[in-house]
Structure 1
Amino acid sequence: MAVAIQYLLSRWSGFTLYCTEGILSIDNNLAERTLRPCAIGRKNYLFVGSDRGGQAAAVHYSLMASCKANEVEPFAYLRDVLSRITDHATDRLEELLPDQWLKQHPEAHYTRRR
């Protein structure tokens, strides 16, 4: 117990800094939640089956991350894009990226929960 108390006392200013700096959080839960998909993904990447499977997974993860960053509802996005992509002009594929797609489909905008 004495070792734990000594550890706390020797780092007291660091432990109490969040009380005086309003921007600091008392814990690192946000950082851990942000990194969790990467940690889970590392296990899943072992089972993609082939290089092509890994590339397909990377495209999928990138699209979903882009949807999340642009606050696009992923299911609505994929449903629409996959139904139209074969008839879409190849020189205008950037229109199907989540940030551009959302301009044409504002009803698919969502606000992330914290």
Structure 2
Amino acid sequence: LHGWVIDNRGKVPPKTKLGEAMTYWCNQAHKLTTYLKDGRIKINNNRVERAVKPFVIGQKNWLFSNTPRGATSSAILYNIIESARANGLLVDNYLQTCLEELAKKPETLTHLLPWNFKQS
């Protein structure tokens, strides 16, 4: 397919749908080649898109945050929740444990980071 696109690209007007598709192919071919050479690479980023979906949906709600501090607090909380989800944690249990641990005023918080957290 790549060879055909390269051979025929000059024969197709660039403003046509086929011409646009061929230009797109030529601009993106290196990504496909990288994907084909390394089987560890995912073909899509659906997981990331699902993770940011709540932010896209809530965008209008956050447009009118009362204060910058409130907006910052919301962003921090959503970051913690999504990081916990991305690390396979039960969010409710994780948050409860974090709050209980924070009340003890530990010297370090690294054990509470989602990727270090040991869920019981």
- TM-score category of the 2 structures, normalised to the smaller one: 0.5 to 0.7
Q: 1:78 & 1:45 partners in 2: Cα distance?
A: 22
Q: Which runs of 4+ in 1 moved over 3 A?
A: 30-35
Q: Which structure is richer in relative contact order (CA contacts within 8 A, separation 6 or more)?
A: 1
Question: What SS does the aligned partner of 2:88 have?
Answer: coil
Q: Which ranges in structure 2 are unaligned for 5 or more consecutive residues?
A: 1-16, 26-41
Select the structure that is richer in helix: 1
In the TM superposition, 1:1-114 aligns within 5 A as 30=46, 33-89=50-106, 91-102=107-118, 105=119, 107=120
Amino acid at match of 1:47: F
Between the two proteins, the alignment pairs up a number of residues equal to 90
State the TM-score, normalizing by the size of structure 2: 0.55
Q: 1:56 & 1:49 partners in 2: Cα distance?
A: 11
- Aligned residues: CA RMSD: 3.2
State the TM-score, normalizing by the size of structure 1: 0.57
